[in-house]
Structure 1
């Protein structure tokens, strides 16, 4: 029996397999593609190494790619058939149960079981990292904060991975609305490890939520070598960079980054970032048909079967943006059939039913110019769109779609509420003031519209909050 680098006992691992496993965990926390290579190396040394098989399964399941999940299911099933589970340590058995719940589509049970592991083993970095991602994919802001916060006092500042745990905590703090603490924790995480791209990501999320887009651009620019290459998270952080550039009104810069970095994505995560960016341009009347066409071509194989409703939304965005409404409707029809079948414990079924389908239908309605239907579909669910995952920044595409539809439909009362909410929370956002101006135009208040546009221009020049 051997211990991992965090002092936790493991069975079934030779010395070489244990070394590869420790390296794999390090690569995972750095979000580097080498995690897969090190995991395979660990299993090549010790094929029935329980924690190696658990890690391999998590890697296959947390990509949100149906084909990866199918392969992970087959590998893990074969592993379970080969071993005597009664010989595993209690922590290992708990991981096997958590993986099996995830394989069965029960994300919530998986997250709960991983939480139970970290109560007893708060230094289990894999349980923390996998649980953190499950919380993200299910949109659970409280657990994003408390899963990591509850384990934090078991880690010391001189632990090599303390900074990574702190970076996860910073993101949870941000999603839960604790922006001062999230900035503090995120900056400290990056101070401890300059290439902690998740910690950097937590800081830029904080600036996004506070409308500090100028500061966000400067933060990104100052650390360009640390986050822009060498990980499977590069494109997502470039997407955040583009959100800042959009807020400043620099569409040319956004499209240059899109063409050089975001176009041609190969994973669901990369494709949804591309779709989310083009959709924000689409809402403002920017025609990007050729970019949409290429993006729409990439989605069918990845959404051929239901797996994650959040991905479905971005596929529908792509179809609508490319003018391929029929493909969007076909995808929606398959999901409508999917939710009619009883699927006890399958989290994605409930996500699709409660949020995914209304959002996807609203995108098609927007593409058809039926803005009243968009409002009717989105307004009742606007406070629970977190239920199908993603971050506040990602889900803002849905809220912006609702606001734009309310303005175009002449639904003045709803538009007033939505604009007031946005300006009150982020008065330093040029976008919010431009929508205040559009509402004032709708109401015939020309002076107020002009003043709002002047405010938007001023904020765009100064970078928002100083």
Structure 2
């Protein structure tokens, strides 16, 4: 019987060369978040209906797209099939994915790390802890940025120097952890090797933003985005980055234009977590920077958000849902979320801890123009915001809220200190302007 392997030399328990070929291609499409991944993996399943790993990969793609029922159905089939004729590696692979898909994040993270130590080139499993929405980012850890770097460096020797997938995530990890020079080099090389790789563009966009190279980020997006189909999972999110760059330099007309064309709920095919967080954080920043949000935009964002994340306990979503509720004047919903989050903390079921309800309460204080109260809540928790997960660019909305609250509550000295620290880390025309405005007479 022929032996089939994946792109990294790991055995695939299938009897079909077509299934193996479609699986290899489908994994590359999945891990570059490129369209046609679903159809390609479906073709692998059609070629060999007993191919467990093809069902597992399809389950992972369903999970990324927030199609929970389909994801659970596919991973159950994978588990049944792999138990009959899978290798030890394949059984572990399916089990880690099963834990992740069923929301058992802590066990999934532990399993993924253990699996990666034994089979470091099993990239679908190694990918789970990485990225802005990976198991490490959403673990509640305060040092998840460093943990991603440590994980990548621990396994770097197992990958070729020009492996586009590993370069993508290695670049992301270093860039988010503050090494923008190294992060940029890895991400740029990943994009050179595989242009149809939204994760590489995403990583490079972030590292350029963190380096204060907004014009370069904008040029990159304008050049690359037209070649990425609007059905792509991160299409609207990449456009969101361009809107942030325009907003940061004060071009509100362009920023709003990008938001309306690509990011607004009525014009995006993105997944709910991206749509809720991108709409909430853009409109919140726009308003916090002193620009009136056009009529209807907050209402549209609120109407979309009301269909998702009603159950508290997902910190990244909780924070953005709180921004929507605060801006929309839904005090009751926000207070109910805070109460539920505090109950989770008391039950030791919220690893991110008190920073989550604190940010929610601060958002309400800010919206109600209690700027001193907002600053008093956020200032002691500033170093804990990283626990909510996501990227530094996404979490910056919380620091922006603190900064504006300090400025509006006559805490100029504290605002200057925070701005000086941010400018040292990342040049920003907005921050430079704010600092000039706060200069002592």
TM-score by length of 1: 0.83
Q: Any conservation in 1 of the 2:326–2:363 contact (CA below 8 Å)? A: yes
Q: Does residue 1:321 correspond to 2:327, yes or no?
A: yes
1:245 is displaced (CA, Å) by 1.0
Q: Which residue of 1 aligns with 2:59?
A: 57
Alignment counterpart, residue 296 of structure 1, candidates 272, 291, 302:
302
1:69 aligns with 2:68: yes
Checking the alignment, whether the CA contact within 8 Å between 1:30 and 1:231 is kept in structure 2 is no
**1:420 corresponding residue in structure 2:** 420
- Alpha-carbon distance, 1:205 to partner: 1.3
Native 8 Å contact 1:228 1:237 kept in 2? no
Does 2:151 align with 1:152? no
Q: 1:420 to 1:40 in 2, by over 3 A?
A: same
State the shift of 1:383 in Å.
1.1
Do 1:144 and 1:175's aligned partners in 2 also have CA atoms closer than 8 Å?
no
CA change 1:376–1:60 in 2 (3 A) is farther
Could you tell me which residue of structure 2 aligns to residue 185 of structure 1? 186
Structure 1 residue 141 corresponds to structure 2 residue 140: no
Q: Quick check: 1:128–1:148 contact (8 Å CA) kept in 2?
A: no
SS of residue in 2 equivalent to 1:151: helix
The equivalent of 2:279 in structure 1 is 274
Shift of 1:175: 0.8
Question: Residues 159-238 of structure 1: matches in 2 within 5 Å?
Answer: 162-227=163-228, 229=230, 231-238=232-239
Alpha-carbon displacement from aligned partner over 1:235-280 (angstroms, at most 9, x marks no partner) = 1111111121112211100000111111124522123112211111
Structure 2 regions of 5+ residues with no counterpart? none
Q: Secondary structure at the match of 2:404?
A: helix
Computed over aligned residues only, the root mean square deviation of the Cα atoms, in angstroms, reads 2.6
Alignment of 1:364 with 2:373, yes or no, is no
Q: How many residues align?
A: 428
Aligned to 2:391: 391
- CA 1:218–1:104 in 2, change beyond 3 Å: closer, same or farther? closer
Q: Deviation per CA, 1:345-375, whole angstroms, max 9, x where unpaired?
A: xxxx223x33322111111111111222222
1:111 to 109, 112, 115: 109
> Aligned-pair distance for 1:410?
2.3
* Counterpart selection for 2:124 from 123, 126, 141: 126
1:325 touches 1:367 (CA, 8 Å); kept in 2?
A: no
Q: Deviations over 1:312-354 (max 9, x none)?
A: 21122122223333333333344344444464xxxxx223x33
| Structure 1 residues 134 and 37, CA gap change in structure 2 (3 angstroms) | farther
**Which segment is superposed worse, 269-278 or 98-107?**
98-107
Q: Quick one: structure 1 residues 248 and 143, their matched pair in 2 at CA, closer, same or farther if it must change by over 3 Å? A: same
Q: Could you tell me how far 1:396 is from its partner in structure 2?
A: 0.5
Match of 1:93 in 2: 91
Tell me if the contact between 2:375 and 2:402 (Cα under 8 Å) persists in the aligned partners.
yes
Displacement, 1:229? 4.6
Shift of 1:201: 1.9
**Could you say if the C-alpha distance between residues 337 and 69 of structure 1 is closer, same or farther in structure 2, counting changes exceeding 3 Å?**
farther
User: How far apart in 2 are the matches of 1:86 and 1:379?
Assistant: 55
Select between 5-14 and 221-230 the one with higher mean Cα deviation: 221-230
Comparing 102-111 with 286-295, which one deviates more in the overlay? 102-111
Q: How does 1:398-437 map to 2 (within 5 A)?
A: 398-426=398-426, 428-437=427-436
Relative to 1, partners in 2 of residues 1:369 and 1:241: Cα closer, same or farther, differing over 3 Å?
same
Partner of 2:39: 37
Structure 2 residue matching 1:298: 3-state secondary structure: helix
Q: Distance in 2 between matches of 1:190 and 1:202?
A: 10
Q: Secondary structure at the match of 2:354?
A: helix
CA change 1:403–1:13 in 2 (3 A) is: farther
TM-score normalised by L of structure 2:
0.88
With over 3 angstroms needed to count, the CA separation of the structure-2 counterparts of 1:77 and 1:258, relative to structure 1, is same
Q: How far does residue 230 in structure 1 lie from its aligned partner after superposition?
A: 5.8
Q: Which one of 6, 10, 33 corresponds to residue 8 of structure 2?
A: 6
Give unmatched runs, 5+ long, in structure 1. 344-348, 447-466
